[in-house]
Structure 1
Amino acid sequence: MRNFRDEFSDYLGDVIVEIQVGLGPAGELRYPAYPEMNNTWQFPGIGEFQCYDKYMLANLQACARQVGQVDWGKGGPHDAGHYKQFPYDTGFFHKDGSWNTPYGEFFLEWYSGNLLQHGERILSAAESIFRGTGAKLSGKVAGIHWHYGSSSHPAELTAGYYNTRMRDGYLPIACMFGRHGVTLNFTCFEMRDEEQCPFSARCSPEGLLRQVTLAARNANVPLAGENALMRFDEGAHNQVVKNSRLTCLQDNLADIYEPMCSFTFLRMSEQLFQSDNWHHFVQFVQQMAEGRSFHPWEETNYAIESQVHATQLLIHEAEAAMMFK
């Protein structure tokens, strides 16, 4: 980070206005609990705990001794299943599993606590290094929405987020970001619960996003967004526009908060520049920029067509560049 700061010092705060600090796999603050390489994990598997190298085991043993439970320090849960399994296939994650026992609580506190300590160290260093440069800092949190509807939230637990039906695992993360003035970057903004399959995975990207939004709000942390999947349809765009209002439901009342601080669209590709996709994208950008999702039809259509026409040269240049990439 110091080398980056020194090399690009003339651009920080002007050309480079934000630096996203890498915190783990895919830049996200999490354990590598669901690796897709070599077909190790497949959606919507629960993943596996990552606590079996000698350093993690030594730390676990020391913590177990401190609480007078030496046997708890011999390793991770023996009945937590495998990468591709569902929670009801395991002893640890099923509804009445050992995740909700004194041992389970000890282990999950330790496991998630180590992830928080890791994030604390990285963000503390980044804050110190980039202080005074004028560049904002941000960090990513993973949108693990599968099995969100289960009691134990197993896929979140193996990734290091101690979030269950009885415990908020995102508020401690948001508070940690807040202590260092770091924007929380989250995903799933284009996703709807009704689109998710299989139903047995009990996915809820909308419920997860509401929870993270509320955590960021309570921690007074700016929230930035991005789409999880590369989509160009109006349905996905409209969902992002809707979610950009950062609406939370509390006590059956809708509290509408300020817009999210930024949004990253994933991603530029040949598909984006196809006629219909580009038309939808122009409309989407205009709605996001104006901070609202409704205009009289004639006004909206005229503005969109004007922007589409004005960007035709850019489209042709991008298409030509991609042909020779």
Structure 2
Amino acid sequence: MYHLTFKYFSLGLFLTILNFCFAIGNKSFNVMAPLHVMHYYNSEIEEERDWAKFRNQLTECKNMGVDGVSVDVWWGYVEKENNSFSWKYYDKIFLEIKSKGLKIIPILSFHAFEPKKTSNFSSPIPKWIWTLINEESGIDISELKYNSEDLDEFGKPYTSNEFISHWANKWAMPQYAEFTKEFVSHFKSYLPFFQEINLSLGPSGELRYPSYNSHDDGKFPNRGRMQCYSKIAENNFYNWSKTNNNEFDSLSFIKCQDFKMMLESGNNIEDINLLNFFDWYNFSLLQHGRNMLKMALEIIPKNISIGFKLPGIHWRIKDPKFPRIAELTCGLINAYSKNGIKAYTNSLKTILHGLPINRINFHFTCIEQKNPNSDAEFLKSYSVPEELTYDLSEAAKSLNLKIFGENSNSMNLKYDFSWEKMNALVKNGSYFGVTILRIEDVTGENLFAKKKFKKMIKAFKN
């Protein structure tokens, strides 16, 4: 028994040292491709000069030591009609990236991209999916979307079109799986050139609710808005309360107006009904993330890593009235712990439960953000992104989960502090690499950011 115990202890120590060495010596530095190359010049059409510019950017990236390029593979763009897949654009862009000796990082983007009218390119959720699920389930289309706590003039919740509500996953999941299978089959010859395959789990490709996406009154830097006021969400709550624990049998679903009053009073921070409401809201989202990852892991070849992303909701963390409320309405954590490391460790554990952690890459945004410069700025947002990025690093490290960083705002790449912050996180925060939003922000005439990114790559690869 002693020898067996020592053997496994030695193996565990070896793996820990191996992972540490990998973290030190194998950093990856990537860039995001444009949402579509037609954005470069005339946004109404796709032109050869768009592709020529993209090729030049790829060449610059290769010369500065960039490893790979991530590309949104838009579900609504590829499968505009049910079971009819058009991969033409992705055949071309993958070939361009591969021909420059760069790795490809496809993002299976099940979320919507619906920009302002300045662009002719958009990729909403496929129209047919709403009708299909409505017919299969008998559930009204508005119920298949996330329903906000904010009500319109008719007393109906505002809805988000950015992602199918995960409470409708019984009908949506087979479609996600089918798309994933078709992607893997079509790009079988490209599999050796994929650095990883990233999975969109919610709005903007992130595992979250659309709590600050402006279809309602939720926006930065306010608390955000709950998105669970559909009948299918309410039914899920009651099922959860019955199966989770007998002591919750008497819990009631908190109606939107009651929820607003509870938060505004400021005296209900430890109310058991509110705590458990947030617990269900968080658990439900995390289970969705886990189920999506499980689906992808079963379809995608085992030698390819699967990536997922959480957003850096860095505001309202220090809110004296209700700490971390923006992260709660976003669904990232539950309300039982206000400690960032503990809260995110618990959330990541739930997502990863029973999954092969060695195949999963975790991406986290806002790594370039800095804390407010003044007390006045701080009081507007109660924001502490610098603390948050290290909390996530510690949470990931405690689970032996590889964490990668991403900037959340390309405008910040113009400033020294952003590069200092990102360098420090890679050096001291156990981040395995950085993805820059976007390729055009570190190439061409963006000389400052190009110089900084090149210097970062050189520092960690030499």
> Shorter-chain TM-score: what band?
0.7 to 0.9
Query: Which ranges in structure 1 are unaligned for 5 or more consecutive residues?
Result: 82-89, 248-256, 294-325
Per-residue deviation, 1:234? 2.4
Please name the residue that 2:317 is paired with. 148
Post-superposition shift, 1:170? Answer: 1.1
CA–CA distance in structure 2, aligned partners of residues 226 and 41 of structure 1: 23
- Which of 85, 98, 102 aligns to 2:272? It is 102
Deviations 1:164-185 (A, max 9, x none): 4257331133233473431110
> Is 1:18 aligned to 2:200, yes or no?
no
Q: Which residue of 2 aligns with 1:84?
A: none
Q: How does 1:34-183 map to 2 (within 5 A)?
A: 34-37=212-215, 40-65=217-242, 67=246, 72-76=251-255, 78-81=257-260, 91-92=262-263, 97-132=267-302, 134-150=303-319, 151-163=322-334, 164-165=337-338, 168-175=342-349, 176-177=351-352, 179-181=355-357, 182-183=360-361
Per-residue deviation, residues 115-163 of structure 1 (Å, max 9, x unmatched)? 111011101011111133x321110001000001125311100111225
Over the aligned positions, Cα root-mean-square deviation in angstroms equals 2.7
In terms of mean alpha carbon deviation, does 188-197 or 52-61 score higher? 188-197
Secondary structure in structure 2 of the residue aligned to 1:261: strand
2:405 alignment counterpart:
225
Deviations 1:45-75 (A, max 9, x none): 1111111111111121233455465663334
Instruction: Encode CA deviations 1:236-274: one digit per residue, 9 max, x unaligned.
Output: 112211121243xxxxxxxxx4xx222111113378532
Aligned counterparts of 1:245 and 1:270: Cα–Cα separation in 2: 23
Distance in 2 (CA, whole Å) between partners of 1:149 and 1:115 is 24
Is this contact kept in 2: 1:52–1:75, CA < 8 A? no
Distance in 1 separating the partners of 2:400 and 2:203:
26
Task: Give the stretch that moved more between structures: 234-243 or 187-196.
Answer: 187-196
Contact 1:98–1:104 under 8 Å retained in 2? yes
SS in structure 2 opposite 1:165?
Answer: coil
Instruction: For 1:11 and 1:101, locate their aligned partners in 2 and report how far apart those are by CA, in whole Å.
Output: 53
From 413, 420, 432, the counterpart of 1:238: 420
Paired-residue identity, %: 25
Contact 1:191 1:236 in 2 (8 A): yes
User: Cα–Cα, structure 1 residues 31 and 283, in superposed 2: closer, same or farther, change >3 Å?
Assistant: closer
Structure 1 residue 104: deviation in Å? 1.8
Q: Per residue, is there more helix in 1 or in 2?
A: 2
Question: For the Cα contact (< 8 Å) 1:145–1:205, is it kept in 2?
Answer: yes
Amino acid at match of 1:57: E
CA distance in 1, matches of 2:239, 2:442: 53
* Partner of residue 6, structure 1: 185
State the 1:43 CA deviation. Answer: 1.5
> What whole-Å deviation, never above 9, does each CA across 1:188-218 have from its counterpart, x for those lacking one?
1111113484533210101111111110010
SS of residue in 2 equivalent to 1:29:
coil
Change beyond 3 A, Cα 1:18–1:64: closer
- Summarize the Cα distance change of 1:40–1:192 in structure 2 as closer, same or farther, 3 Å threshold: same
CA spacing shift, 1:97–1:63, aligned 2, 3 Å: farther
Equivalent position SS for 2:383:
coil
Q: 1:77 to 1:36 in 2, by over 3 A?
A: closer
Amino acid in the other structure paired with 1:131: P
Equivalent pairs counted in the alignment come to: 268
How many angstroms does 1:102 deviate by?
Answer: 1.4
Aligned residues of 2:229 and 2:256 also touching (Cα < 8 A): no
Find the aligned partners of 1:217 and 1:195 in 2 and give their Cα distance: 29
What is the TM-score when the length of structure 2 is the normalising length? 0.53
Deviations 1:21-49 (A, max 9, x none): 11111111111111224x74331111111
